[in-house]
Structures are given as C-alpha cells and as structure tokens.
Amino acid sequence: MPGEQIITIKRNDKRTINAWAMYDWANSVYSLVITSAIFPVYYSTVTMTNGDDTVRMFGRTYTNTALYSYSLSASFLVIAFLSPMLAGIADYRGIKKAFMQFFCFLGSASCAFLFFFTGKENLWIGILGFFLASIGWAGSIVFYNAFLPEIADKEHHDAVSARGFAMGYTGSSLLLIFNLIMIMQPGLFGIQDGSLPARISFLLVGTWWAGFAFYTFKYLPARTRKKYSNGNVLFKGFHELKNVLTQIRKHKVLPVFLLSFFFYNMGVQTVMYVAALFGDKELQLDSSQLIITILIIQFVAIGGAYLFSGLSYRMGNFRALITAICVWIVICIAAYYTTTSMQFYTIAFLVGLVMGGIQSLSRSTYSKLLPDTHDTASYFSLYDICEKIGLVIGTASYGLIEELTGSMRNSVIALILFFILGLILVYSASILRRKELKTHRISTK
C-alpha cells in the first residue's frame, strides 16, 4: 500500500515470546494483590468503623463494598470508551508498544500511590488510586493481547496464551506469599504499625509491575506498522477502527463469539473481583482463610491454563470452552448454598481449575478466528470492549443487587444467568464455525 511500511515480526521467536509472556508475570500482581487478595480485605477493614460499613463520597452515602464495585465499574467504562480510539491510532502508526508502556506505568504508579491510603479520612486516595490502577492495567492488556497473533502462528496460540497466564499466576503468587509473610509476621521486618505491611505491599506491586515490564519492553518490537500521512492521526485512528468493524460484519462466527464472550466473561471477571468480599461478608472468614482461598485459586490456575490448552488440542477450542462454562455454572450454584470455609475452599479449587483455562482459551480462540491482518490492536480493542463493558455491568449489578436485597448471595443468581447466556451463544458460534470450515473444505477441493 502506498505510503505504508510494514515491519515484519519474526514469528515463533523464543526470545520475543518469552518477553511477551513476561508481561503476564509483571502485571498479574495487580490482579492478585490489588483486586483479589490484599487490597479488598484492607479496604473493607479500614472503611469499617465500629460495625458501620457506610462511607460517604460524591455527596452520597454508600456501603463500602458497593462503592468499591462502582469505582471498578467506572474505571472499566472509561477504558472501554478509550481503547477503540487508541487502538485505531496504534494500528495506524504501528505504536502498540508505546501505548502499552503508557498504561503500564500509569497502573504501576497508581498502585504505589495506594501506599498513602489509610482509611475513611482519605478515602479519595483509595478510590482514585484503585480507579487509575485498573485503567492502567486494562489499557495495557488491550495492546499486550494484540501482540499474540503477531508473534506466533495460529497453531501455537493456545500454548503461548497458556504460557502467559501460567507465568502470571506463578509470579503474582510469589509476591503475594512475600507480602503475606510481612502482613502476618510484621515483627520479622521490624514493623510496628499494623496497617503498614499492607500499604507496603501496594508499593511493592507498583515496583514489581514496572520493573519486570522493562524486560518485555526491551524485546517487543517498537513498531509493527507505519503509515505516512499528513492527516489528523485521531481521525485516522477512527478510520482504522471503522475498517475493522466493516470486516467483522463480513464474518459469521466472530460477532457471535464476541457476544458469547461478553456474557460468560461477565461472570468470570465479577467472580474474580468480588470473591474475597463474598467470603468476608457472607461467610465471615478471617483474613488468613481468605488468603488461603486466593492461594488455592492461584496455584490450581497454573495447571488449569495448561489443562485447557491440552483439552483444546484434543477436542477443539469451542468444546473446551463449553466444558469450562458448564463448570462455572456449577460453581455459582454451589456458591449460593455455601456456608462453611471447607465448602468455600472446594469451590476455590474449582474456580482455579477453570479460571486460568477459560481466560487463556478465550484469548487464543479469538486470536485464531481473526482474519490475516495488521490491525490486531483494533480487533483486540473490540474484544476488550466486550470484556470491560461486561465487567461494568457484572460488578455494578452485583453491587446494586447487594444494596437492594442486603445479601451478596442474591447477586450470585445474576452470575448464573450470565453464564447460561454465554453457554448458549458459544454453542451457536461452534455450529457456525463447523459450517464455515465445512464450506471452506468443499470449496478448496
């Protein structure tokens, strides 16, 4: 194309794949420490005063966990609107890595900023830091995922995607264990202030995330495409996105798969973000029991990512996804009736088994369905929109149902419905895919 330069990335290069997977190692500490393990428990504790779990912000009173859910929803709503425009620009100018770096350092700095959050007296620091950290994490993931179809051939996508998630679960677990030792045995570190270990852990998350990301940014290519034009780059970015939307409408499977992903991932992400709060409020589990639960999920998820990569090889991506979603439905039904810590641990084991698998498999399945294109960031921005809008609806509905009914258990019913809708649509996408492949085989004979 005139005025365009395509920089070819060497596919299946071991060093490039290692650098790409290292970003999962780097950023997953945010998902584990900030959104799942330490920050939710710390936030719930420091915003509770003599049994009063209400907080006031923006001129209104909320329950503390509902405000937590709403702030999370707002952050993902922002990135859902920003990412398509930025992805179009990134594809047009070939600067996916630059945008990935910006959001990475925004997120890591925001995690470190949470060190200054001490309670209701400076609640704005906790909410703002949490809000910006989630924007940084979600924004960087759009461009990170977009590299997958560029660094590996389609037959390797399942394995490479699983490798990234497995590294993420491993690295984040290591930092979590260190943080837990510091929180449970502060005397070993000469710490007297009871809240300081948790706050130091937020600082360590920011440092870990940014520090290991430097290895990723050293070896990922700076540019994958460059167009020469004097036109407005913002306008050109929207033009790139428009082209992608036009292409997607020509495919039968992609739109159905994206819609299915929207629904079932709504359930997956909501469970990930509120599981600790559910155990804290509904089951009255103490911090140590919640941490055990999180660690069970993390370590089982490492094997789960590889397990479902193997299942996809044996039975195909769609059948493996259908299997995972069915397990998620069972998990939600069981969670509704859970009353003991041992039952909660059992559910945590099942969550870990399918959490890594369904995330890894969803990313690689979508990557395999993409046409041959250099507009990978724009395609993955649509994937990200489905993920983030779904998460906005999932977490917001979870918080709203809790406020209206006074129980998180009732919110679980909504999650079951999300998974059932996702299951129906994945099955529909699998039928369309089989017809598409059959037609292709006939036409090539």
Provide the pLDDT for residue 240.
Answer: 64
CA 32 – CA 175 distance, rounded (Å): 9
SS (H, E, C) 185-240: CHHHHCCCCCCHHHHHHHHHHHHHHHHHHHHHHHHCCCCCEEECCCCCHHHHHHHH
CA 258 – CA 247 distance, rounded (Å): 14
Identity of the amino acid at 443: S
Structure tokens at 17: 């794949």
Provide the pLDDT for residue 133.
Answer: 95
Question: Tokens 């407005």 map to which residue?
Answer: 232
Give kind and range of the element (H or E) at residue 78. helix 64-93
Specify the fold of 8-219+231-444.
Answer: Growth Hormone; Chain: A; (1.20.1250)
Provide the pLDDT for residue 197.
Answer: 93
Cα 88 to chain centroid distance, Å, stands at 21
pTM of the model: 0.76
Residues found in the chain: 445
pLDDT tens digit at each of 445 positions of the chain: 444 545 556 778 899 999 999 999 999 999 888 887 789 888 988 888 877 888 888 888 888 878 887 887 788 788 777 777 777 777 667 788 888 999 999 999 999 999 999 988 899 999 999 999 989 998 898 888 888 888 888 888 888 988 888 899 889 989 999 998 898 889 888 888 878 999 999 999 999 999 999 999 998 887 665 554 555 555 555 666 677 777 777 788 889 999 999 999 888 888 876 776 677 777 777 777 777 777 888 788 888 888 888 888 888 889 999 999 999 999 989 988 888 888 888 888 888 888 878 988 998 898 888 887 666 767 877 888 888 788 778 877 877 887 787 777 888 888 899 999 999 999 999 999 888 777 766 665 5
Provide the pLDDT for residue 420.
Answer: 95
Provide the pLDDT for residue 359.
Answer: 85
Provide the pLDDT for residue 8.
Answer: 57
Provide the pLDDT for residue 2.
Answer: 45
**Cβ-proximal residues to 132 (8 Å cutoff; 6+ apart), any chain:** 75, 106, 107, 110, 113
Provide the pLDDT for residue 306.
Answer: 83
Provide the pLDDT for residue 328.
Answer: 93
Provide the pLDDT for residue 235.
Answer: 58
Give me the residues paired with residue 297 across strands: none
Contact 106, 132 (CB under 8 A): yes
Instruction: Give the start-to-end residue ranges of the domains of the chain.
Output: 8-219+231-444
